[in-house]
Structure 1
Amino acid sequence: MTTSIEKWGDVHVEAGTSRNVFLDVGETYSGITVRIPVHVRRGDEDGPVIFVTAAVHGDEVNGTGAIRQLIRDPDLDLSRGAVIFVPVVNPLAFDRHSRYMPDRRDLNRCFPGRRSGSLASRLAHTIFSEIVHRSDAGIDLHTAAVRRTNYPTVRGDLSVDGVRELAEAFGTEVILDKQGPDGSFRREACNVGCPTISLEAGEVWKVEPAITTLASRGVLRVLEHFDMLDTPAKRPSAPRRPPIPVTSDDTTWVRADAGGFLSFHIRPGDVVREGQALATSTTLLGDEVEEEGDVLSPTDGIVIGMSTLPAAHPGTPICHIAKLPPGITADLIERRRARHGELQEQIRTELAANIRVEEDT
């Protein structure tokens, strides 16, 4: 990349130090300058520069919680390289508890942006110039959209040099091999030579303990993989990896065929089999909707996303399933989880806390 990690306007970040810097990214309606807080931490020696960002969508704050946890960790000492922590990329949306910019644009469709473009495009241009162009790799933290929750899944274009290495080092149980939409942060960063992955995990407007733990540990595993952390005596303990990584390039959204009130039979992260009942649609008086009542899984897979809203009309997305790749079976995943899946079980339990799950009858 072309921009120095040391100089940020009038602020200099020397090797072996950490500094907070503030990027001017726009103005409010009243003309007050809007700034993004950034924490830059450098090791004593040169090495990779990795950015970790959150709240590109202003209501997705699980990643904000994880980054704050990492910044506040007194034992996170870098031996080489640098990390750029950006807890909130989109302050204009964050202040409104909104996914979108005040101009109603989705910032995650506006990269790399333009200096003289729309409000969202100008913010995207600043982020790209000041963060991506200083970095060798990136991790962008997201959650599900409103009224949904996501089981932790890393997404990345595995055909791009460095992305598979980054995704596998992060260590989620599920990796989706996806390019990403035009204008999305990770896709456009990859296009300029900065391999970038995104994590999708949890719900909007929340800082969920198991999700922030998983996200912060994933970042630490990446830093460890690139030999950026200090001596083992000082290094934060990185947990063992998930019991079995599942890499999928094929997902499907299962939708309701009838209107009604849903009784869910699965949790986020559950392994499902073809023909398994995912939910049952009932009337408001509790009677099962005839013929189209049961919503069935079309494939073997892992539930990576779910609606948290039980009221459905025809076409409502109920759950997002990552299909299992060749050689990976539902039985194999369940056996491995039974032996080594403690954190995954904690995550599935916490994510289902706001969903009533009933036994399939």
Structure 2
Amino acid sequence: MSDTPRKKRPIGSWLRKKIKPGEKKRLLLKAGEGFTGVGVHLPLMVWRGLEDGPVLGITAAVHGDEINGTGAIRKLIQEPPFELKRGALILVPVVNITGFERHSRYTPDRRDLNRTFPGNEKGSLTARLAHLIMEEVVGRCDYIIDLHTAAVRRTNFPNVRADMDDPDCARLAESFGAEVIVNSSGPAGSLRREACRARCPTIILEAGEALKVEPSVQDMTQRGLTHIMAELDMIDVADDLRPDTAPHQMIVQGSSWVRAGSGGFLKFHVAPGDTVQKDQPLATSTGLLGKEHETIVCPHHGIVLGMTTMPAVSPGDPILHIALPDTRKQFHSLEKSVDRIEEDTLENQVRDHLATSITVVEHTLVDEDDEVELKESDEI
């Protein structure tokens, strides 16, 4: 990364409006026109502290149906848990405004906005929106936290993803306080990757499900954002009021999807956030009449980072996303830490809430001799 100072756009004037220290202003950025020719606008809020300091961008719904972050930003606007003393916040509840209005992950021209950055001001609708975000948001920020959820019909256990080789990204990721940090630079064309290339350190939070605003995810998001703002000296938080953080933190270099070997209807044996051991049963696939087709076992030691919420699967469908500790020692340390988490902690609340989207049952061995074949005369 170059040592040349980065030239940022000013925070105090925007769209011919002045934003004074201590002020909050709601703004609308024109993002283009819809099919009717009527303007499409991107709503955001700028909140300046009383003193100079870093500019932190908080964005959500780059995928238009991933709205947990939208709810978290709205709550931050309506019920701020702190007084912003230094620096400024740029709050963008919905980046993909055209996808959001259609309850869709994608933009109306069927593109993935989070594979289109840095965009092009003369390109497609999606490319123009990406360019606008890079210029007007990334171009004014010192740091960005981008909030995501799992794709539709999946759920994610809260985890931060960051390029841990970048000291500023590592600082943000560790300060957030999630149990799991996935070390990666992000896919090509993603907001995170391109913002980092523009020398604006950016991390993402993956948590919860699409098309939902989940209370426990909101609480964990707000806690993590408060941690980061305290770390950046944007807010004053007394030690006795500082929100609790995760009882442990694991940085993983990789993850793996476990897939169905056959089609069927799943019984899950684990939930998001569970630690799992190699060869442990994860799910049992049965036919609609209950005959067992296969037991899907874990190929690695790890922690359940994400999983499908749709029990009906085809061969090859992804079922569980497992974060892979670097060593067996790291896994056992994680396993012991998870076992010691007290019941009333936010971490356990999130585990319990995410598990409500699936039914988890203990794995039991089926004795084939006990199965009774249906006779032609038996009714179904």
* TM score, norm. by length of structure 2: 0.91
Matches of 1:328 and 1:125, distance apart in 2: 45
Contact 2:230 2:237 in 1 (8 A): no
CA 1:147/1:74 → structure 2, altered by over 3 Å: closer, same or farther?
closer
User: Match for 1:250 among 228, 242, 254?
Assistant: 254
Match of 1:345 in 2: 348
User: Match for 2:284 among 277, 280, 289?
Assistant: 280
The CA deviation at 1:9 is 1.1
The yes-or-no answer on 1:270 pairing with 2:274 is yes
Match of 1:332 in 2: 333
Match of 2:378 in 1: none
| Amino acid in structure 2 at the alignment position of 1:94 | F
Worse-superposed segment, 100-109 or 221-230: 221-230
Matches of 1:153 and 1:74, distance apart in 2: 23
Match of 1:171 in 2: 177
Match of 2:141 in 1: 135
CA 1:335/1:98 → structure 2, altered by over 3 Å: closer, same or farther?
same
The CA deviation at 1:75 is 4.5
Alignment of 1:15-30 (within 5 A): 15-30=21-36
Match of 2:167 in 1: 161
Contact 1:22 1:37 in 2 (8 A): yes
The yes-or-no answer on 1:70 pairing with 2:73 is no
Contact 1:273 1:330 in 2 (8 A): no
CA 1:74/1:148 → structure 2, altered by over 3 Å: closer, same or farther?
closer
Contact 2:58 2:145 in 1 (8 A): yes
The CA deviation at 1:45 is 1.2
The yes-or-no answer on 1:49 pairing with 2:52 is no
The CA deviation at 1:52 is 0.2
CA deviation digits over 1:90-117, x for unaligned, max 9? 1100000000000000000010111001
Contact 1:70 1:76 in 2 (8 A): no
Alignment of 1:157-306 (within 5 A): 157-230=163-236, 232=238, 237-289=241-293, 293-306=294-307
The CA deviation at 1:278 is 0.3
The CA deviation at 1:328 is 4.5
Worse-superposed segment, 16-25 or 50-59: 16-25
Please list every run of 5 or more consecutive structure 1 residues that lacks an aligned counterpart in the other structure. Answer: none
Matches of 1:299 and 1:65, distance apart in 2: 35
| Amino acid in structure 2 at the alignment position of 1:8 | W
CA deviation digits over 1:171-205, x for unaligned, max 9? 11000001111100000000010000001100011
Matches of 2:255 and 2:59, distance apart in 1: 25
SS of 2:292 mapped into structure 1: coil
CA 1:327/1:81 → structure 2, altered by over 3 Å: closer, same or farther?
farther
Alignment of 1:3-42 (within 5 A): 3-42=9-48
The CA deviation at 1:334 is 3.6
CA deviation digits over 1:56-115, x for unaligned, max 9? 111000000000111112553111111111001111000000000000000000101110
| Amino acid in structure 1 at the alignment position of 2:92 | V
Matches of 1:244 and 1:75, distance apart in 2: 24
CA 1:328/1:207 → structure 2, altered by over 3 Å: closer, same or farther?
farther
The yes-or-no answer on 1:60 pairing with 2:66 is yes
Aligned length: 356
CA RMSD of the aligned region, Å?
1.5
What's the % identity of the aligned pairs?
A: 50
The CA deviation at 1:330 is 4.1
Matches of 2:347 and 2:23, distance apart in 1: 35
The yes-or-no answer on 1:100 pairing with 2:106 is yes
Match of 1:319 in 2: 320
Contact 1:58 1:93 in 2 (8 A): yes
The CA deviation at 1:333 is 2.5
CA 1:144/1:75 → structure 2, altered by over 3 Å: closer, same or farther?
closer
Please list every run of 5 or more consecutive structure 2 residues that lacks an aligned counterpart in the other structure. Answer: 1-6, 365-380
Matches of 1:76 and 1:85, distance apart in 2: 15
SS of 1:4 mapped into structure 2: coil
Contact 1:251 1:320 in 2 (8 A): yes
The yes-or-no answer on 1:111 pairing with 2:112 is no
SS of 1:318 mapped into structure 2: strand
CA 1:74/1:153 → structure 2, altered by over 3 Å: closer, same or farther?
closer
Higher Cα radius of gyration: 2
Matches of 1:39 and 1:230, distance apart in 2: 21
Matches of 1:160 and 1:246, distance apart in 2: 17
Match of 1:88 in 2: 94
CA 1:109/1:74 → structure 2, altered by over 3 Å: closer, same or farther?
closer
Matches of 1:115 and 1:21, distance apart in 2: 20
